[in-house]
Amino acid sequence: MMSAKDKKNNASARKPKRVAYEDLRALALSLALPGVSEAISWGQPTLKAHGKLWFFWNPKYDAPVFKVSSFDERDMLIEAAPDMFFTTDHHRPHNLVLVYPERVDLDWVQENLTRVWRAQAPKRVLKAWDAEHGR
């Protein structure tokens, strides 16, 4: 028979951790990708890659917003995992996707940030980074 403590630990292990902007900011900056900078856009802290929008937190929806490669990718993500990804009328005209903060997959975040960074990087920066990292 499970003790009350075991039940509580079991329940908290199943409950997804809600991420905050600072968690995702720390993850993004830990990637140590060149050309990433912090800025203020629409009155909110934002991370940019090579001067272009990369990631921010939308206070109205209390959710992280990520740039993705295309509208098709955004739509596929939302269709495949509607409990994780969403968009709004405001964000729909842009290749951006919002993620429910309690459903964020940190592996997806890291992969997406790296992929979008690569797509936005000037060729000379990407070539140097690839050479330095054995790619």
Per residue of the chain (135 residues), give pLDDT as tens. 555 555 445 444 445 689 999 999 999 999 999 999 999 988 889 999 999 999 999 999 999 999 999 999 999 999 999 999 999 999 999 999 999 999 999 999 999 999 999 999 999 999 999 999 887
Give dist(CA 85, CA 75) in Å, integer.
9
Q: How far apart are CA 52 and CA 94, in angstroms?
A: 13
User: The pTM is what?
Assistant: 0.85
Domain 18-132: top CATH class = alpha beta
